[in-house]
């Protein structure tokens, strides 16, 4: 008997196709792992055992009939709970949608199912994706599998923790300002935010429509590339007007040499007061690892990057206010009882259905879009967005990717950060990526010398060059492994081998 968590997503798909084990065996192992581990981690809001076993049985039947299986054949997956999947609730971790049953399936979810994935459940998140710690979930916080007294990051904390604890080998999250990459960093897994438009957002509950992007978590770059192949299969999604054609096979050339490629660094940013010494050391290790693979390091500038947080917290709340106006307590979701008028019902349903951070961001958005205020803040924020995008364009004329920390710190303890503005600083190095719309990936580079928690480096690449970005990420991962600093596929030690035998 082998432990389920020792197998990568690629190995599971290969084993199911070869008949070494069945998709049903893998599904049961994943469900057993969730049962054994999730009481401590609380990565899931809902498991979908019936859907999982049905999908696994369909995969096994297809193999028995001699049909060609998809690239994710039999691979258990978790989905952030802002992604619709028929047969599950889609709550966005909010009381407002606590009993909402999905009536359709998001394109990103459907594409993984079409590729043969097994849907085992919906992962916890910050309410409506507003947060960087998964503490704002209306139902329960998620714990970091490396230290359950610490947060897993957010807003896709449940998706990251489910992979880090070995409950699933792959999951999907959404990234509006760092919500895939920051929890990937905190939990010691690989997380990718593809270029805006590369993955369909249809069926994903919107936070900031010009910023949101769906992407995968995995325990290795190879598994993330495998998931990306499924997400872009089928081409442009006509149900999402921002969706683009992405023909690349992300596994092609993944192991190729990166010798002669260039990576940009921004030395001045490493002197920022928020950056801890262990994060600086981690980035130095990442730089040395890339140089060991033959990558040339060059100095670049993103002069307007420090303005990204200010621009983001104008654009994001403004779009959130618009998007969340639909949750009125009338058509679906939480409905305040015993109201005598529609106005009273709407006001009280929203007052009692939304949590503190959701209210804060909507109120901020309402103010920013008000007459007399709009011109003062929203227009300048969009102008800063143009400046940041131009900065990236000029930087990528000199390099193939930019190397940055993913987060200025490792995972912090629950309750350690209570000031919202201090929490927002967790996304210091990720937000500019969403503002500009280009791709980014977080790769573990070891454990912090002070905290003992995972530390990661982030690579950002030009728009729609995600294939090249993953190739460099794989080179970084390979070199880090050769140096003995981190090992791809690692499950948090407290959970390795705990339940889930295959």
- List, by residue number, the catalytic residues: 80, 155, 179
| CATH at 219 | 3.90.1300.10
Residue 218 lies in a domain: yes
Whether 46 is covered by a domain: the verdict is yes
The pTM is what?
Answer: 0.97
Establish if 485 belongs to a structural domain: yes
For residue 284, tell me if it sits in a domain: no
125 inside domain: yes
Which residues touch 102 (CB under 8 Å, ≥6 apart)?
A: 84, 85, 86, 87, 88, 89, 90
In a domain, 431, yes or no: no
Number of domains in the chain: 1
Are residues 332 and 395 in contact, defined by beta-carbon separation less than 8 angstroms?
Answer: no
Find out whether 419 and 438 touch, Cβ atoms under 8 Å.
no
| Residue showing tokens 């957010």 | 154
Residue (of 10, 187, 37, 133) closest to 495 by Cα position:
37
- Of 232, 221, 252, whose CA–CA distance to 9 is shortest? 221
344 in a structural domain:
no
Tens digit of each residue's pLDDT, the chain (502 residues): 578 889 999 999 999 999 999 999 999 999 999 999 999 999 999 999 999 999 999 999 999 999 999 999 999 999 999 999 999 999 999 999 999 999 999 999 999 999 999 999 999 999 999 999 999 999 999 999 999 999 999 999 999 999 999 999 999 999 999 999 999 999 999 999 999 999 999 999 999 999 999 999 999 999 999 999 999 999 999 999 999 999 889 999 999 999 999 999 999 888 888 899 999 999 999 999 999 999 999 999 999 998 999 999 999 999 999 999 999 888 888 999 989 999 999 999 999 999 999 999 999 999 999 999 999 999 999 999 999 999 999 999 999 999 999 999 999 999 999 888 888 888 999 999 999 999 999 999 999 999 999 999 999 999 999 999 999 999 999 999 999 999 999 999 999 989 999 8
Under 8 Å CB-to-CB from 129, ≥6 apart: which residues?
Answer: 82, 92, 154, 155, 156, 174, 176, 179, 207
Domain span at residue 18 reads 4-257+466-495
């Amino acid at each position: 008997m082998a432990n389920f968590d020792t197998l990568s997503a690629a190995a599971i798909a290969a084993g199911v196709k070869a008949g070494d084990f069945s998709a049903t065996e893998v599904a049961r192992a994943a469900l057993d792992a969730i049962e054994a581990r999730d009481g401590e981690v609380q990565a899931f809001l809902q498991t979908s055992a019936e859907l999982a076993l049905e999908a696994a049985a369909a995969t096994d039947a297809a193999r028995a009939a001699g049909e060609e299986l998809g690239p994710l054949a039999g691979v258990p997956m978790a989905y952030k709970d802002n992604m619709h999947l028929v047969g599950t609730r889609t709550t966005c971790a909010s009381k407002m949608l606590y009993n909402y049953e999905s009536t359709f399936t998001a394109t990103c979810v459907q594409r993984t199912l079409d590729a043969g994935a097994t849907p085992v459940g919906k992962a916890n998140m910050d309410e409506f994706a507003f947060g960087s710690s998964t503490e704002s979930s209306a139902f329960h916080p998620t714990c970091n599998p490396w230290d359950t007294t610490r947060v897993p990051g957010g807003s896709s904390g449940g998706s990251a923790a489910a992979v880090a604890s070995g409950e699933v080998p792959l999951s999907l999250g959404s990234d509006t300002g760092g919500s895939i990459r920051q929890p990937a960093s905190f939990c010691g897994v690989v997380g990718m935010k593809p270029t805006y438009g590369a993955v369909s957002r249809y069926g994903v509950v919107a936070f900031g429509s010009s910023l949101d992007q769906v992407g995968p978590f995995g325990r290795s770059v190879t598994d993330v590339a495998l998931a990306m192949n499924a997400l872009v299969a089928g081409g442009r999604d006509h149900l999402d007007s921002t969706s683009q054609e992405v023909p690349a096979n992300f596994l092609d050339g993944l192991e190729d040499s990166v010798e002669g490629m260039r990576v940009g660094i921004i030395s001045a940013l490493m002197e920022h007061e928020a950056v801890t010494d262990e994060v600086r050391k981690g980035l130095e290790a990442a730089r040395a690892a890339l140089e060991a693979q033959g990558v040339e390091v060059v100095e670049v500038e993103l002069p307007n990057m420090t303005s990204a947080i200010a621009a983001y917290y104008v654009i994001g709340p403004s779009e959130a206010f618009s998007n969340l106006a639909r949750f009125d307590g009338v058509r679906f979701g939480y409905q305040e009882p015993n109201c005598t008028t529609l106005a009273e019902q709407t006001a009280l349903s929203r007052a009692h259905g939304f949590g503190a951070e959701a209210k804060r961001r909507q109120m901020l958005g309402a103010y920013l879009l008000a007459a007399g205020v709009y011109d003062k803040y929203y227009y300048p924020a969009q102008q800063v967005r143009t400046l940041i995008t131009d900065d990236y364009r000029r930087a990528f004329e000199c390099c193939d990717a930019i190397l940055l920390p993913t987060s200025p710190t490792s995972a912090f303890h629950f309750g350690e950060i209570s000031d919202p503005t201090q929490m927002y600083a967790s996304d210091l190095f990720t937000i500019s990526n969403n503002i500009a719309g280009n791709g980014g990936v977080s790769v573990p580079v070891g454990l912090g010398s002070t905290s003992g928690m995972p530390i990661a480096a982030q690579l950002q690449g030009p728009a729609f060059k995600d294939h090249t970005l993953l190739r460099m990420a794989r080179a970084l991962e390979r070199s880090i492994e050769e140096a003995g600093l981190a090992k791809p596929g690692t499950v948090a030690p407290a959970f390795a081998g705990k339940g889930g035998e295959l």
